[in-house]
Structures are given as C-alpha cells and as structure tokens.
C-alpha cells in the first residue's frame, strides 16, 4: 500500500516576499510578456505580464517583495498589470540597452524615480519621471514626467548605492565623449550637477553612426568596479568606482570580442562575465589581479548560447537574488545561466537552460536594478528559515499525510484563488476560486480526492491571489 505524503516547506512569498532582507529585485518582468519571481530555491516562471520590450525594462518591488510596477521606458504598468495614471508617453525606447531603471528615493518609502534612455543616441536623451505610490489607492501615479538630465548620451544607465548606505549614484555616459556622469539621488532629490570622470574610450560612431552607443553596463556587488561593453568596437572595459565621491578611474581594456554586448559580475566581485550578441559566446575574466595583461590572459570561453534566431544569440545578463547569473536568449522560451559564478573557468556551471519560461519568450534584455549585496549563495546547502507573512497563510501539519489544511487570515472579505503550479510556473489545477470572509478561514484538502490525482513526487508551488496580492508556498510532494 502506498503512503501519500506532502511535506510542506514553510517558505512564504508575497509576489514574492522572500527570505532575503531586501527583496526589491525579486520580481522580474521582461521580454515578450515574460516574468519570473524568486523564492529561496530560485526563480519561478509566471504568466502575468502586460509588457513587451525588446531590450529595455525594469521592475521593482517593495522591501517585502510585493510587486509595485514595471516599465519598458515608454509605459508603466502597476502591480495589477494596468497602465498607471500618466504612465504613457515616457521618452525612452524599448530597444535601449539599460534604458529603464527604477530607483526608490532615499528617505522616502513611497517615492520612486524612473530613469529612461532613448535608443541609438535619439533626440530624447536621458530623462527621469517620479512616481508616488501613495496615490491611486496605492497603485501609484506618475506625478512628474520626462525631465531631461543629459543629451546626447549612450544607452548605458547604472545605479550604485553610495558608501553611506543611503544615497544612490545614477551613472550615465555622454555620447561623443569619454565622460561618465554620476548624479547623486538623495532624500533631497536628484542633483542634476554630476560628478564627471573623463576616462576610458570615447563613445562615438559604429554602424549607422550610433551602434557604439549600445552595450550593457554593470557593477560589482560591492559597487567598487564598473564594466561595460562597446558594441562595434568589440571591446569591454573595466573601471574602479569610488562610491563615496562618484569618481571613475583606472580603465582596463579587453579587446577582440566582436558585437560586445552583455556584462555581469560574480557575487564575490572577482569575475567578470561577458556575452557577444551574434556569436552567443559567454566569457569569464578573472579580475582579481587588477592588472590589464593578466585579466586579458584569463579570458575563458565558458559557454555558448543557442537560440532559434539565426543571427542574434546571447543578450544581456543579470545576477539573481540566488547568486546565479541569468542570460537572455533572443526569441527563446528559456534563459541560459551560470550557476556558480564565483568558481574559476568552466567550473562556473554554465547551462544553456537555467529556467523554462513556459509560454513566453525572452528577447534581448533582462530587468535593470540597483545593485544589492543581499544575495544567497548557490554554493551552500544552508537551510533558510523564512518568517515573512506567516500570519497571513499557514499550511499544516508538517509533515502532512494525505490531508492538507490551509489557514488564511484575511483583513477583509475578499476574493481568493488558489492554484497548484509546477515549479516553472506551469498551471496544474485550481484548488479554490471564490470569496472568503474577513478573519480566519480554514480549508482542508484530501490529497488524492481534492488536490490533484496523479501527481508525481517533486517540488510544486501553491499560488494564492488574495486582496490583489500574490503569495506563493513551495511544496515537496512525495507519492510513496
């Protein structure tokens, strides 16, 4: 006789509230209506995005991991996936590299700056808009829009926390110049008089006169180094960054990489990873020596991305809260990735499929975020105890044999939907769709009769939509 057991891992998310101390970067919206949320074991693909964007995108959550809004530099969608009031007509471009970047204003829990770039040195330049999340019943409203900061500029935008742990440096690069402009965002607003560093290559020219404006810019997790790609020069550059003064210095040049495109760094700040747009090559450089010759000689081909598109391959990169590096694959239904980016050479664990996006495609880009050090290493088996929002939803007993009880504490009479999903976000079954009363409700499910028959042993996700908020619980099902 088989014993059917469901072991519940009480690791609760709120779109997705996660185990990390700060969760602003745990919800990703990108590509052709693709999205994924991170929990303690990695990303879960989901089907909820209203956005299509070729390269440029940003998404941001609050400190509890609840989605606030996302944008492609032209429109802004709120957490219910509707266009935010005044959230159209932004002067960015969906084809700009780092062309949309959302940053919470220091000292203000509900005010967000959204920075946008035009593409190909377009006429609109580098601008910002301001969003007040206290308006529109907490869904947000754009209160200031399209204020000009810099023109002409490249497609590169970067946000690095100040050494004081409060303010944020917003970094852009002038076009036709070697100038980096570092603008300080503080509780007093954006200082539009930048710290200017003349260092590195002059960004000029390229195919159609502007293609050298393209290429990703990124920073190490500690915010002390900056890397960037210059597309038609076939060049990557590495710099030191003083996060107290905003000064950029000590350029290191890495040549010989045609169609230089993506840049990202390992969690321990010792490795730089790069992609090339048309060949799909993924390289690792050991940057720990700070010596140009040594760094160039350390270059190792760690993987090659495969794509259905015959011309365009490896897109931009972004490090996840799980310390894996995710790589966009043009027109693909999955992402490539690097599982152990701190490790040297091919031991870094490149994989051509790190997550299945199920029904939606990635295009050239992934979201742009403020750098954070709140990462969980993928090289550890440590157990993480999540204490977030356990007063809202509880599953028990643990372990559970045959019967599952769900306890939900709602602050008002509410619509509730509970879905069972595969860990990649694929829908399996709806457990409940209806109304629950204010206060505590209990729901009981017999595994075989009410939950879903024929489940194979493995990890699954229970998705709760309550009070217009999403919550996830990961479950491990053992059908013995």
pLDDT tens profile 129-180: 999 999 999 999 999 999 999 999 999 999 999 999 899 999 999 999 999 9
Q: What stretch of H or E contains 430?
A: strand 427-436
Sheet containing strand 350-356, edge to edge, reads 314-319, 325-329, 334-338, 350-356
Is residue 94 within 8 Å of 74, Cβ to Cβ? yes
What pLDDT does residue 423 have?
A: 61
Predicted pLDDT of residue 453:
55
Mean pLDDT within 220-244: 97
CATH T-level fold of 4-10+388-479: Immunoglobulin-like (2.60.40)
Indicate the range of 68-77, 200-209, 400-409, 422-431 predicted with least confidence.
422-431
E strand segments, 187-280: 189-203, 217-219, 225-230, 235-241, 248-254, 260-265, 271-276
Q: pTM of the full predicted structure?
A: 0.77
Tell me whether the CATH fold assigned to 4-10+388-479 matches the one assigned to 23-356. no
**For the ranges 155-159, 405-409, 448-452, which has the lowest average pLDDT?**
448-452
pLDDT at residue number 177: 98
**Beta strands at 126-132 and 141-150: parallel, antiparallel or unpaired:** antiparallel
Nearest of 415, 432, 420, 430 to residue 467 by alpha carbon: 415
Q: Contact, 417 vs 452, CB < 8 A?
A: no
CA 62, 67, 73 angle in degrees (round to 5)? 105
Whether 429 shows a pLDDT value over 80: the answer reads: no
DSSP 315-362: EEEEE-TTSPEEEEETTBSEEEEES-TTS-GGGG-EEEEEEE-TTSBB
Task: Tell me the C-alpha distance between 12 and 155, whole Å.
Answer: 37
Q: pLDDT of 219-228, one tens digit each?
A: 999 999 999 9
Q: How far apart are CA 451 and CA 477, in angstroms?
A: 12
**pLDDT beyond 60 at 14:** no
Question: Domain segments of the chain: what residues?
Answer: 4-10+388-479, 23-356
Kindly state the tokens that stand for 103: 């940053």
Q: State the CATH class of domain 23-356.
A: mainly beta
């Amino acid at each position: 006789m088989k014993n059917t057991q469901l072991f519940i891992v009480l690791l609760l998310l709120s779109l997705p509230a996660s185990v990390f101390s700060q969760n602003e970067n745990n919800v990703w919206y990108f590509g052709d209506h693709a999205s994924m949320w991170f929990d303690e074991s990695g990303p879960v693909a989901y089907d909820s995005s209203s956005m299509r964007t070729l390269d440029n995108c940003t998404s941001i959550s609050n400190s509890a991991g609840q989605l606030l809004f996302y944008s492609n530099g032209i429109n802004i969608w709120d957490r219910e996936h509707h266009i935010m009031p005044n959230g159209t007509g932004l002067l960015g471009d969906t084809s700009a590299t780092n062309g949309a970047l959302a940053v919470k204003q220091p000292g203000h829990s509900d005010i967000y700056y959204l920075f946008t770039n035009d593409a190909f040195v377009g006429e609109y330049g580098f601008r910002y808009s301001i969003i007040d999340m206290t308006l529109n019943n907490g869904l947000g409203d754009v209160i200031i829009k399209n204020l000009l900061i810099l023109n002409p500029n490249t497609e590169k935008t970067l946000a690095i926390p100040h050494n004081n742990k409060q303010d944020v440096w917003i970094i852009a690069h002038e076009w036709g110049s070697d100038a980096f402009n570092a603008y300080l965002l503080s509780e007093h607003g954006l200082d539009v008089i930048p710290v200017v560093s003349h260092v590195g290559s002059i960004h000029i020219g390229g195919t159609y006169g502007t293609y050298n404006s393209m290429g990703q810019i990124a920073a190490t997790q500690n915010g002390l180094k900056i890397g960037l790609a210059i597309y038609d020069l076939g060049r990557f550059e590495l710099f030191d960054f003083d996060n107290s003064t905003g000064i950029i210095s000590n350029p290191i040049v890495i040549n010989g990489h045609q169609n230089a495109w993506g840049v990202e760094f390992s969690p321990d700040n010792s490795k730089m990873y790069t992609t090339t747009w048309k060949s799909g090559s993924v390289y690792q450089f050991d940057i720990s020596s700070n010596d140009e010759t040594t760094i160039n000689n350390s270059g190792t081909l760690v993987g090659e991305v495969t794509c259905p598109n015959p011309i365009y391959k490896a897109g931009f990169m972004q490090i996840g809260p799980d310390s894996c590096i995710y790589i966009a694959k043009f027109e693909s239904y999955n992402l490539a990735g690097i599982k152990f980016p701190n490790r040297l050479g091919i031991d870094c664990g490149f994989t051509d499929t790190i997550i299945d996006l199920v029904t939606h495609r990635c295009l050239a880009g992934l979201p742009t975020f403020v750098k954070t050090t709140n990462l969980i290493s993928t090289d550890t088996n440590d157990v993480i105890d999540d204490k977030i929002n356990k007063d809202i939803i509880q599953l028990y007993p643990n372990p559970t044999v045959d019967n599952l009880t769900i306890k939900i504490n709602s602050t008002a009479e509410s619509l509730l939907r509970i879905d069972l999903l595969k860990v990649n976000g694929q829908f399996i079954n709806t457990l409940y769709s209806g109304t629950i009363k204010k206060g505590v409700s209990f729901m009981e499910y017999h595994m075989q009769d009410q939950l879903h028959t024929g489940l194979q042993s493995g990890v699954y996700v229970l998705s709760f939509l309550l009070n217009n908020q999403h919550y996830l619980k990961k479950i491990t099902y053992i059908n013995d």
